[in-house]
């Protein structure tokens, strides 16, 4: 069976964000996150593509894994979800994390009618200006 690798996995591997549909997978190359349902995976994958389509021109890069810095994809993941969360409830102010990615995406679809109707271009400032978390130091043993 093909695993449904989460398009927002950078936020989950670092344990900065959460999702009830996330299932950690350990591989030789490191940890990955798989989604437990195809429906949730499809929604998130579609949203991630829309976020990339809106934000990559702001970074001046193409959607090409060989040319695009990894940091841009990570900013799209973090900043895109934080921007979406803020658009759902602007009165809360800036957030540092998303507790339940799947619930946020489902609520956004309910509010806007579909993934395609989510105003991803409105989050470009949040994506571009997102400060990546610093590297975490390993504890000495």
Q: What is the pLDDT along the chain (141 residues), one digit of tens a residue?
A: 358 999 999 999 888 999 999 999 888 877 889 999 999 999 999 999 999 999 999 999 999 988 899 999 999 999 999 999 999 988 776 778 999 999 999 999 999 999 999 999 999 999 999 998 766 555 555
**Helix, strand, or coil (residue 61):** coil
Task: Return the axis-axis angle of helices 70-88 and 38-59, rounded to nearest 10°.
Answer: 110
Residue of 98, 100, 107, 106 whose CA lies nearest to 42: 106
Tally of CA atoms within 13 A in the half-sphere of 120 that contains its CB: 24
Q: Which residue has the tokens 């504890």?
A: 139
Domain boundaries of the chain, sorted by first residue: 44-129
């Amino acid at each position: 069976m093909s695993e449904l690798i989460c398009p927002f996995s950078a936020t989950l591997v670092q344990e900065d964000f959460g999702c009830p549909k996330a299932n950690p997978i350990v591989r030789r190359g490191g940890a990955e996150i798989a989604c437990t349902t195809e429906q949730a995976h499809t929604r998130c994958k579609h949203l991630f593509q829309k976020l990339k389509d809106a934000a990559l021109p702001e970074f001046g890069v193409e959607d090409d894994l060989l040319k695009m810095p990894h940091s841009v994809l990570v900013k799209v993941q973090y900043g895109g979800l934080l921007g979406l969360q803020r658009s759902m409830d602007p009165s809360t102010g800036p957030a540092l994390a998303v507790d339940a990615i799947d619930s946020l995406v489902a609520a956004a679809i309910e509010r806007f009618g579909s993934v395609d109707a989510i105003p991803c271009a409105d989050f470009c400032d949040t994506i571009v200006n997102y400060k990546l978390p610093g590297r975490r130091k390993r504890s000495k043993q």
